[in-house]
A and B are shown apart, each in its own frame.
Chain A
Amino acid sequence: MSRLFTRRLWAMIVKETWAILRDPKSRAILVMPPLVQLFVFSFATTLDVKNVDIGVYDRSHGAAAMDLIQRIDGSPNFRRIVPIRSQAEMREVIENQTVIAVLVIADDFDRKVAARSPAEVGIVLDGRRSNAAQIVSGYLSQIVAATGSVPRVNDVAGGTVVTHWFNPSLSFFWFTLPSLIAVIVSVSGVALTSQSIARERELGTFDQLLVSPLRPREILIGKTIPPMLIGTLNGTLFLIIAPLLFGVPFTGSLLLFFLSLEVYLLALVGLGLFVSAISMTQQQAFLGSFVLTVPILLLSGYASPIENMPDWLQVATYANPARFFLVIVQGLFLKAMPAAAVFQQLWPLGLIALVTLTAAAWLFRARME
């Protein structure tokens, strides 16, 4: 009797897996979103700035000004140069976001450059897109600083050699694809678990389960196995696609990868069960899982670094399983993270899993009786 793995449990797992796989639409929903997300996310989420349009308001019309414009035209970061003829036009192109920045060359620019006195070039940027504008400002300032001057003596860069470890060319793919595993697994892990019970509740079949010889423990385990399987499947899919299609190296240990993935999934499934224990309808379950998933993703360090958050919010991220898993996947892909460093992240993850699962089981039992 005390055996955990009984024939009843097996039947429950089979039933649950079928419940998910039976409907062709929900079958598609298991595979399609992760793939769409894979391609859209990985191509769209770059904080690089390329191919932007720039306006040039040239009032100098001299050789030095022409030289500057040509250098900007030649830069791969800019796509098109829009000539501007008046102050009003400048305001208009920026307001309408036709360009992100306008370079303003004053009418005495050529005279000053010829006289070798310090000249200035104004750059007006669209602060609505302050992040991109800052990057564009950096590009333009570099080009501007390089023009006009005959390189003088001692034009040193500053005595520094910069090396980027783990991702020498700073490719965004190398950052996004490993992180996506954490994102996609959490979306399906929480949503799938919480919806499956709420659906049975709403359709009334949950009562049938309760009057069957199945024990509460068996129902819970049966509900957790299929989401775990699907999460593992999605994780494995990404593990194969990232190096194969995107050239992201996987340098760490596969064993540690799957171990961490399962612990992470357990934490998520615990959250999903928790949500389903308190929700009576699918709409509530969906909302509950959404309310959990969004902070899990936004507070993980994927959307923006944890260091940028206010201190009190940084403390809150320690309760977020994705925070720990993200460090592990990024480490295992790019850094060949040693086991000791992985375990530093893994034990808090395990603790969170333990807490969410126990809380869910307790709440479930309380609600069933």
Chain B
Amino acid sequence: MKQAIDRRRLRALIRKELAQIGRDPSTFLIALFLPLLLMFLFGFAISLDTARTRIAVVVQDSGGAAAGLAPSYSNSPYFEVSEFRAVPPARDLMMADKVRGMVVIPQDFSATVAKGKLPQIQIVTDGSQPNTANFVAAYAEGVMRNWAASEGVGGRVAMPAVQANPRFWYNPALKSRNFLVPGAIAIVMTMIGTLLTALVVAREWERGTMEAMIATPMTMVEFVISKVVPYYFLAMTSMAVCTLLAVTLFQVPFRGSIPALLLVSSAFLMPSLGMGLFISSATKNQFVASQMALLASFLPTFLLSGFVYEIASMPVPIQALTYVVPARYLIPSLQTIFLVGDVWPMFLRDSAIMLGFGLFFFFLSFRVTRRSLDT
């Protein structure tokens, strides 16, 4: 029986791996350029904080009251307004995706105001983008309500007897960047952990160098360790770069501790690296491995981890699926480390689950690799 780990052999294998990483510039592209690109995109390109939305205001009435309401829309910080006298040109703009909604001030508007009644306006939104449509409807209603209240139109508007007083903990300014950027770090680690590892081992199979490796006295344990260790450090390095970037460039607060960050990210890399190894040993083809890794790691991390989309709102079968996405356990912890502080019960529980997944994937890849060596 061969010794499972021989120090000298292991060192040689790791050195080979490092040399390979060093020789291919694309590895550095993954480890340095990609994290920067992703952080940059998630920091700047994705924003759920709605900015100025283009709408059309159609004033069909020439009375003074209508002339008073229309500027309330152009003066609102939420809207960029183009004014029209009739609906058809505004409808064409909406059709062509140039405006996201329109406010129609009808012909009898000023006359109704003159009678002391509350006039009605029409708000039409572009429903093809539901989120923006909701926003346009809510804010366009608000502008009308404020205008009516300040002009005293339609009599006294009653204040509700009970009012809600919301306070947002951890992120009082409600910047979506504050939770998107920590999530982006999870995506970066998935990229390196799963995608890069999957490609690397699949390449050994595809080029036939795997057979040469098997012919050496190397054991499977050594092989796996030699593949995992360099990429673990590579991933941790990009994690550190991303964290630095998040705190400096994107001004995300960092309220937790570095040991906590190291713990949860190391725990996450286990399933991540394990999955990469498994995919590559199972497919043995770089194209298939890359597509599988994309499908099994990148997309779930983006879509099924609660990163952007609320898990509770998904249908039950999809919710069940999220339990096997390792990032589901990483992202809340990461967001907590950045925005809240150290919540150890949460970190320990999530890390334990991630380590469990990690063991499972390593076990699977051992089995698959061993079987394929025999055939």
Contacts and interface: CB of A to CB of B under 8 A. Distances in A.
B154 interface: yes
Interface string A319-361: 0000000010011011101100100110000000000000000
Contacts of A283: 24, 26-27, 199-200, 203, 286
B313 A29 contact: no
Given A46-B313, A140-B166, A330 B128 contact: yes
Contact of B41 (A144, A155, A295): A295
Kindly name the residue among A48, A95, A158 whose own CB sees the greatest number of chain B CB atoms within 10 A: A158
Given A125-B166, A129-B179, A291 B34 contact: yes
Contact of B46 (A96, A123, A134, A304): A304
Contacts of A49: 310, 312-313
A160 B315 contact: no
B49 interface: yes
Interface string A149-183: 10011111111111111111011101100000000
A7 interface: no
A308 B161 contact: no
Contacts of A37: 295, 299
B198 to A, nearest CB: 10
A144 B290 contact: no
B179 A287 contact: no
B142 to A, nearest CB: 8
Contacts of B283: 25
A161 B120 contact: yes
B41 A94 contact: no
Contacts of B179: 128-130
A270 B325 CA distance: 34
A123 B24 contact: no
Nearest to B47: A308
Given A26-B288, A172-B130, A131 B176 contact: yes
B95 A291 contact: no
A208 interface: no
B229 interface: no
A281 B26 CA distance: 9
A159 B125 contact: no
B97 A121 contact: no
A224 interface: no
B336 A95 contact: yes
Contact of B95 (A36, A121, A124, A341): A341
Contact of A174 (B122, B128, B304): B128
Nearest to A29: B291
A40 B295 CA distance: 11
B336 A128 contact: yes
Interface in B91-147: 92, 94-97, 100, 118-134, 137, 140-141, 144-145
Given A123-B167, A283-B203, A335-B95, A308 B50 contact: yes
B178 A163 contact: no
A163 B95 CA distance: 15
Q: How large is the interface on B (under 10, 10 to 19, 20 to 34, 35 or more residues)?
A: 35 or more
A125 B167 contact: yes
B275 to A, nearest CB: 16
B166 to A, nearest CB: 4
Contacts of A144: 162-164
Given A113-B162, A164-B133, A283-B26, A126 B169 contact: yes
A334 B128 contact: yes
Interface in B266-290: 283, 285-288, 290
B91 to A, nearest CB: 8
B335 interface: yes
A287 B196 CA distance: 9
Given A29-B288, A161-B121, A309 B45 contact: yes
B162 A145 contact: yes
A156 B127 CA distance: 25
A46 B314 contact: yes
Nearest to B282: A25
A153 B203 contact: no
Contacts, number: 348
Given A26-B288, A160-B120, A308-B50, A287 B30 contact: yes
A157 B24 CA distance: 64
Interface residues of A, number: 114
Contacts of B94: 165
A137 B166 contact: yes
Nearest to B94: A165
Given A160-B141, A165-B125, A118 B295 contact: no
Contact of A51 (B48, B166, B290, B313): B313
Interface in B324-375: 332, 335-336, 339-340, 343, 345-346
A279 B29 CA distance: 12
Given A40-B299, A95-B343, A334-B128, A127 B29 contact: no
Kindly name the residue among B125, B128, B172, B303 whose own CB sees the greatest number of chain A CB atoms within 10 A: B128
Interface stretch (B8-16, B51-59, B210-218): B51-59
B44 to A, nearest CB: 6
A141 interface: yes
Contacts of B172: 127
Contact of B332 (A25, A46, A97, A171): A97
Contacts of B340: 95, 128
Given A155-B158, A161-B120, 18 more contacts: A29-B292, A47-B131, A79-B312, A121-B163, A129-B306, A130-B48, A134-B168, A156-B154, A165-B94, A279-B26, A282-B287, A284-B29, A290-B195, A313-B44, A313-B45, A330-B97, A331-B95, A337-B96
**9 cross-chain pairs, A with B, having the tightest CB-CB distances, nearest first:** A127-B171, A167-B127, A149-B161, A164-B127, A145-B160, A141-B164, A158-B145, A127-B168, A341-B96
Interface of A: 23, 25-26, 29, 32-33, 36-37, 40-41, 43-53, 68, 79, 94-97, 113, 116, 118-134, 137, 140-141, 144-149, 152-168, 170-172, 174-175, 187, 191, 195, 199, 202, 279, 281-284, 286-287, 290-291, 294-295, 298-299, 303-305, 307-310, 313, 327, 330-331, 333-335, 337-338, 341, 344-345
26 contacts: A23-B285, A37-B295, A95-B340, A96-B346, A120-B162, A121-B164, A125-B167, A125-B168, A127-B339, A133-B174, A140-B164, A144-B164, A145-B162, A162-B125, A163-B124, A164-B127, A166-B126, A167-B130, A283-B24, A284-B26, A295-B41, A298-B45, A304-B48, A305-B132, A308-B48, A309-B45
